[in-house]
Amino acid sequence: MTSTDTITHDTAHSASPTPAHIAFTARLAAGAHLLNLDCGEGVDLCWLRDGGFRVTACEPELAQARRASRRSGQAVRVCPITGMRSVLPYDGIWLSRPTDLAGQQATDTLRHLATLLKPGAPLALPVATDLAAATTQLAERLTEDELPLAICAEQPAQSTAALRYLLLIRTTA
């Protein structure tokens, strides 16, 4: 690691918990190991870590990963969602940015996310489009493609500009 790669912790990272954060973390044991995908600049990463969770973070864009690393004081992996691998499954996954729920690529992404989770573990999935339509579309996809995930809750946005979250659970199937 060169001196330009050194990670220095930026303490100005606090984020206020949203109803989605609260619903997600309520399903977790203290010290749970989480995966924060598409972590952006690391706001959710910091919030989850400050909540006492062990967090592995991943971001597909190098510049964003560097900002997240500086903000959080920890290394952030640079890879797309489908490139993330782990020997042990996670206790939960938090996606910080929406992913497209249409098409075969969405099915492949959701199937991959399920493989990264322990049975019963939550997956927080942000939705940028109409929540009711996204919920219906996702429910159909989960059933038709026999994905081992189930929708357990949806969290309304705090404002019209905020993202809405669907909370899914990894089933045993």
Q: What is the pLDDT of residues 15-69, one digit of tens each?
A: 577 888 888 999 999 999 999 999 999 999 999 999 999 999 999 999 999 999 9
152 touches 123 (CB < 8 A): no
pLDDT for the residue numbered 172: 82
Q: For residue 83, give every residue at least 6 positions away whose Cβ sits within 8 Å of its Cβ, in sequence order, or none.
A: none
Q: Which residues pair with 29 in a beta bridge?
A: none
DSSP state of 16: P
| pLDDT band (50, 70, 90) for residue 136 | confident
Helices (H), 60-169: 62-72, 103-115, 131-144
Coil, strand or helix: which one is 61? coil
Q: Which tokens belong to 153? A: 């809750």
Local structure of 111: helix, strand or coil: helix
Query: Looking at the DSSP assignment, which residues form a beta bridge with residue 55?
Result: 34
Give the mean model confidence (pLDDT) for residues 119-145.
88
Q: Read off the pLDDT of residues 81-107 as tens digits, 9 standing for 90 and up.
A: 999 999 999 999 999 998 776 777 888
